[in-house]
Amino acid sequence: MRVKVWGCRGSLPASGPENNTYGGNTSCIQVTQGDTCIILDGGSGILRLGKFLSPEIKEIHVLLTHLHMDHTMGLGFFIPLYNPNIKVHLYGPSTSNEPLVNRLRRYFSPPLFPVRLSELPSHPIIHELNKSEFSIGEVTIQSEFICHPGPTLGYRIMSGKSVFAYLPDHELQMGASNFPNYPEWTSGYEIAKSADLLFHDAAYTSKEYMTKIGWGHSSVRDAIAFGKMCGVKKLALFHHEPTRSDEQLEYMLKESTQHLKLDFEVELCAEGTVYEFE
Amino acid sequence: MPAQPLELILARQFGDSLSMPCFLVDPDGNLLFYNEAAESIFGLRFGETGGMRVEEWSTVFKPTDGDGNLLVPEDLPLVQTISTKSPAYGSFYIDNLKGDRFQITVTSFPIMGRPDRFLGAMAMFWKTEEL
């Protein structure tokens, strides 16, 4: 299994020379295993992903964690959606009332976007998920609702013995009792436990978080505590604030880890990084 | 033990932050949590009991009628909510483990998750003399 980062910025694309190391595109991850191509989220990073996709690929599975703009804004610019020879599946969280296809139509319609879903050369195949387990090729996927405003899923991607967990937007303090002491009562634990690699929301410093409780995001310190609770092998901090420069991100990580003795790796997620699993 | 679904985690968080008594159970009626305000009625801290099966908690907390007769679990609003997946309401007495007796009024409701998953139930209750 191969995991490539095409976007790890949160909220809004933030291009600029001060963001060259970690990148400015919003959430988009490519997971490949043999002929299987899975894309996690359709943030602005999906534009470049679409440009560099192998011409051999005829079927693509796009799994959306939720429908906030930074996770969907790139969909209309995803080239395979305009290629009738490529079958595109779109997965996203179900709700009690409104079908996913209707919620996606809000984006694919004026004034937000000129092309309607029905005007695409072939309509994407829509799959609604909640607490689900399913397979795409040799990859098994588990999804579960996690703590973030509006219906939001976390994904656990498994291939052979390798596990990749994806929780890009997740508020740990709101979704846990006595965090980080009770795994059973912590949102996202089932998704991330014992993962080889965890991408987790780490938008804020601990001080910033105190003024943004309920906004759906976590601090670097909480993300690290969650990684430790889950027994992950590697944690890559995700959802970088759009106002934060490379230098500021590195300072944040240093400040948060300098007094910790960790038995797993912690790093800042960076656009272009590739992780390979056996 | 597998983690609880988000809806129950948030229900526990909600209950934990209230000053009114609250009680949370899973789809089988097993006790998952009760808050500090409920502890004062039951005469027992949640930390001392932890989770309990429905057969246990419905007798440990000794719900009785006005004549002191023990109520069967099916007479309790929360157990009714579990079986019908509908809100229920009732009033009865609790003989707690400290030997105190309270009349309480209970409102229970199902916890339905997206898109239509029955995940458990929550009961809010009051000492009747406070009403």
Residue-range domains of chain B with CATH: 6-130 (3.30.450.20)
CA-based nearest residue to A243, from A234, A235, A252? A252
Residue-range domains of chain A with CATH: 2-276 (3.60.15.10)
A144 contacts in chain B (CB < 8 Å): 5-6
Can you tell me the distance from the alpha carbon of A75 to that of A101, in angstroms, rounded to the nearest whole number? 14
> Is A151 part of the contact surface with chain B (CB cutoff 8 Å)?
yes
- Six-digit token string for A3: 């995991």
Give pLDDT, residue A217. Answer: 98
Q: pLDDT grade, residue B128 (50/70/90)?
A: confident
Low-confidence ranges of chain A (pLDDT < 70): none
Give pLDDT, residue B131. Answer: 52
The residue of A129, A146, A179, A187 whose CB has the most chain B CBs within 10 angstroms, and thus the best one to mutate to test that interface, is A187
- Six-digit token string for B6: 């988000």
What pTM did the predictor assign?
Answer: 0.91
Residue B130 has pLDDT above 70, yes or no: no
pLDDT digits (tens, 9 = 90+) for B63-84: 899 898 989 888 999 999 999 9
Can you tell me the distance from the alpha carbon of B48 to that of A86, in angstroms, rounded to the nearest whole number? 59
A167 contacts in chain B (CB < 8 Å): none
What phi and psi, each to the nearest 5 degrees, are found at residue A206? -60, -35
Per the model's pLDDT, the better-predicted residue between A76 and B58 turns out to be A76
Q: How many CB atoms lie within 10 A of CB A28?
A: 30
Give pLDDT, residue B62. Answer: 84
CA-based nearest residue to A184, from B45, B118, B39, B5? B5
Give pLDDT, residue A213. Answer: 92
A186 contacts in chain B (CB < 8 Å): 3, 9
> Is B118 part of the contact surface with chain A (CB cutoff 8 Å)?
no
Cβ-defined contact of B3 to A96 (cutoff 8 Å): no
ipTM field = 0.79
Give pLDDT, residue A118. Answer: 93
DSSP annotation of A168 reads S
Q: Are A156 and A38 in contact (CB under 8 A)?
A: no
Residue A191 Cα, gap to closest chain B Cα (Å): 10
Can you tell me the distance from the alpha carbon of B87 to that of B66, in angstroms, rounded to the nearest whole number? 23
